[in-house]
Chains A and B, each alone.
Chain A
């Protein structure tokens, strides 16, 4: 009898513990550190520098959220994940944010019970081949061996592209980017395919980048963005508005250099005032953030353009689709009002 009661109590305890999910923000504050899930290593997006500190475009976003929530961009602890383990790690609570070149798709959003909080990089799948192969277009790849990184949307795009063009191929599935690169370099495959950004990053890490070309075809839409767990709207709002704050800052010309000055003065553009805490921003307290949240983000990490230029320009990646709408790109930011 007692055992049964104990059993019921423990099951109920587990259930109860489960129902108290909201409060990710409080958890992060209590811990004093943000847990962020990033790539195992992709130059420009998440890779350790020569001192062993993680650097990159995706890492910057983790830092930006830490700056907004904790006031210090360095209060982040990083967990790496392969394409395969990332969603499981996020679901299991190993991090509050998954910032790892993750493509926003219907089934990931709905079926995996995750919330995509926006797009921070518009990408598309491309192909890289050695220049000496003489291939000019992806349509000439009939019969090729193709190295792919598993656990991504890549496999499906690849299958659809080759089937759609009545071509055959030999897939060589590899777990991480680093291993796939080795196989590509050793000539196990003729082609390496992943998101175009990843191809540029990979290419730049080669001894002789100019010996490889990225083919012009982009065979898929890959809107990449940070992901959080379903069920905590407050946290999802915090994370998504940090992203928008970085983009708004670029739009309004606020940079890490001038943000302190702009925050101290009354600006003609009232949106700058609201963003930097000069004028009240209605609902900010509901989000649980202090008035200087955006100032912290911009002064410590920089605006969207600064992060992009710092991390991705060295890979010869241009803004393209990732420019703001007013510069001909796709980033159109909801107003900070």
Chain B
């Protein structure tokens, strides 16, 4: 007993004892949960099995990025759903970032009107639940746009309807390979050229208009390939046949509403993060940069933003994660994402709640961890280097 007291009074060993106890309690809790689940499963006469993933799903999905029909397995249906989630998440993140950055800078603008517009936008958007945004945009599309028979016609090639937007779809034909090759070459050139011009600037102080030159190369080069090979791209134009348009690329109202709602909602948060990041930089930095004669856009791009980036990225990561996870609200409007396929119809057709939910959970965890590690890596690469 005395011995024990002695150990207890030693701060080091006490810390270890407390940690061991906490660990034991945690382990007990986990095994209790597992025991509870397996006990209840036994009581209900159910088993844990993932065989259902390999039987035909039997249902159709209205949007698939890889080929899919109702004879494919539940696993493939889940992958189709996962890709749909990915599509919305990536489009949403890109739009939200661009829009959010723009708004954040606008919010700091000295122009009163621009400043106020950004302010009201942010305040209004982020104080309305995301689900309402999604339902609102979906409602607007399906209730205000016309039926396919009275579709809004844009130059006879694109149509806006309450069944979604139909736009021409480029179809590759023989000889397209040269186009791909030239595109890759142009991108490689652009990367090398930016590196070269930066080195040159560091050495001699002379600048190229890098952005414009690269833009031109990336546009002109692939176009040249197209001309050389007799334009090997045709377009599939949507046409009204029967009930709906056929051909072309179909963007469903669900996809548009979800992407748009997620993007404008998240953009409001990103705008605030960007504003906070910029304001976090001491005004002396700006004054110093201005005093050596840098133009305002250069002050922003060369002095403020590189430093603000370090403040912006960690909370920005959270916003990206939020957007991705919020995309699961797709189910409210019937967009067939991972939750609607694997965690929805597959769950229902097979009755495997536990298995499907565990899978959905793990997949979201994997997506979130990947986004998180990618952003951490980026954060690390732009962190302040002590010299």
Contacts and interface: CB of A to CB of B under 8 A. Distances in A.
Interface in B1-53: 24, 28, 31-32, 35-36, 39-40, 42-46
Contacts of B353: 88
Interface string B235-263: 00000011110100000010000000000
Nearest to A172: B334
B44 A11 contact: no
A170 B62 contact: yes
B28 A107 contact: no
Contacts of B244: 143-145, 170, 190
A83 B347 CA distance: 11
Contacts of B28: 3, 6-7
Given A186-B162, A188-B142, A155 B332 contact: no
Interface in A156-175: 156, 158-160, 162-163, 169-175
A112 interface: yes
Interface of B: 24, 28, 31-32, 35-36, 39-40, 42-46, 58-62, 70, 142-143, 147, 162-163, 241-244, 246, 253, 331-332, 334, 336, 340, 344-345, 347-351, 353
18 contacts: A7-B28, A15-B39, A18-B39, A84-B347, A107-B350, A108-B351, A111-B350, A113-B45, A150-B334, A151-B345, A152-B348, A155-B349, A159-B58, A159-B70, A169-B60, A171-B60, A175-B332, A187-B162
Contacts of B143: 186
A10 interface: yes
B344 A150 contact: yes
Interface of A: 3, 6-7, 10-11, 14-15, 17-19, 21, 83-84, 87-88, 91, 107-108, 111-113, 141-145, 150-152, 155-156, 158-160, 162-163, 169-175, 183, 186-188, 190, 229-231
Given A21-B43, A188-B253, 12 more contacts: A6-B28, A10-B32, A18-B39, A19-B43, A88-B353, A107-B351, A141-B243, A143-B242, A159-B58, A163-B70, A172-B334, A190-B243
Nearest to B243: A144
B252 to A, nearest CB: 8
Given A11-B32, A142-B242, A84 B344 contact: yes
B296 to A, nearest CB: 48
A18 B351 contact: no
3 shortest interchain CB distances as A-B pairs = A18-B43, A11-B35, A112-B351
A292 to B, nearest CB: 34
A107 B51 CA distance: 14
Contacts of A112: 351
B58 A155 contact: yes
B42 A231 contact: no
A151 B345 CA distance: 6
Contact of A91 (B44, B58, B162, B350): B44
A56 B162 CA distance: 35
Contacts of B39: 11, 14-15, 17-18
B237 to A, nearest CB: 17
A83 B60 contact: no
Contacts of B142: 183, 186-188
Interface hub of A87, A172, A188 (most chain B Cβ within 10 A)? A188
Contacts of B162: 186-188
A96 B162 CA distance: 43
A163 B59 CA distance: 11
Given A3-B28, A170-B62, A171-B61, A151 B348 contact: yes
B334 A7 contact: no
Contacts of B350: 107, 111
A304 B205 CA distance: 93
Nearest to B353: A88
Nearest to A18: B43
Contacts of B40: 14, 18
Contacts of A188: 142, 162-163, 253
Given A144-B242, A145-B243, A155-B60, A113 B349 contact: no
A11 B28 CA distance: 10
Nearest to A141: B243
A73 B162 CA distance: 47
Contacts of B59: 155-156, 159, 171
B246 A113 contact: no
Contacts of B24: 3
Contacts of B253: 188
